[in-house]
Structure 1
Amino acid sequence: MTLTFEVDPAVDPALRDGILALWADVTNAGGAVGFVPPVTPEAIRPSLLKHLAAMADGGTRLLVGRDEDGRVAATAFLTFNTHRLMTHWVWVYTLMVHPRHQGKGYGLDLMAAVERTVRTAPGFEGIEAIRLGCRGGLGLEHFYAKAGYKEVGRIPDAIRVAPGDDRDDIVMLLQLR
């Protein structure tokens, strides 16, 4: 089976709760998505509400992947750059695939859906690149390289996961032109 992707789905309580559960499950399985385990959906809620507010303002778009049972299984938030000299590229945040689906190639499917969305969905005209940041120490840069992204910057020890556990902040870029 594969995931079914949708851009800009209607945000209702079921979708909101599905994203919160996904985010908590990914974090608690060791995923680098802005939190460290253990975490609950309620602890994540303020961060999701910021994403949803940015969506309501039109500055962020949501890509959701659902599994064969219709459950939220993957997400990516695409955020337009507001600096007038950088509007030709977008950020992608909160890239997640549920742990029960990892190892099936769905991560690369998600990255392909992100690229396809930016290349073809209305509202992304003129976008020439996709940028993301990832946490060092987990090999994520190698995964993103498989999806065509290039490492373009690294800030040593910029992410403090815990006292004495600092990780590099790695900047990855996918050129679309």
Structure 2
Amino acid sequence: GRSSSRSRNDGKDDKSKRQFRVGELVRTELGRMIHSGVIKGNSPILLESELRQRISIVSVDISPDLRQARVSFSVHSDSRNYYENDPVVDKRRAFSWLVDNTNPIRHTLAQKMSHMKVSPSLTFVQVDIAAAVDVMYLIDKVSKGYQREEIGEWDYGEDDGEDEDDDDWDEMDDDF
């Protein structure tokens, strides 16, 4: 008989090939829509183009039935206007804009992906890529800083040249 992808998969991969392909398609289309600002529907709330251009769709995780999508996005800080625009405020405004426009975005996505039976409902999750990069940099820096040429052996010898502390250890041994 026919074997399904589940039987070959044996649960080793969390996502099927179809989930991955649909997720990548949704990610690409969402990125284009957000950057172009072409979102149809019930009078979408506007967000300035400069901030829309800094929104990156990092990944899209699709449920097995392809009806739900968790969209991970990041907002890059604007190095040119760093002191004029607060990056935290920009991230909140972008997140708020995406959440407030979820239905118009989904409607536009459904029109772009008309070959699909259903358009997935969207849930937006903000990820901070810059913080992750900073952490990776620090981990790398620490690991390079603590590398040793050779690892020395510990000397567990009985005689360290000082007799004063030896009695303390002998008394502790008697207690056990």
Q: In proportion to residue count, which structure has more strand?
A: 1
TM-score range, shorter chain: 0.3 to 0.5
Bigger CA radius of gyration:
2
User: Normalised by the size of structure 2, how large is the TM-score?
Assistant: 0.35
Q: In proportion to residue count, which structure has more helix?
A: 2
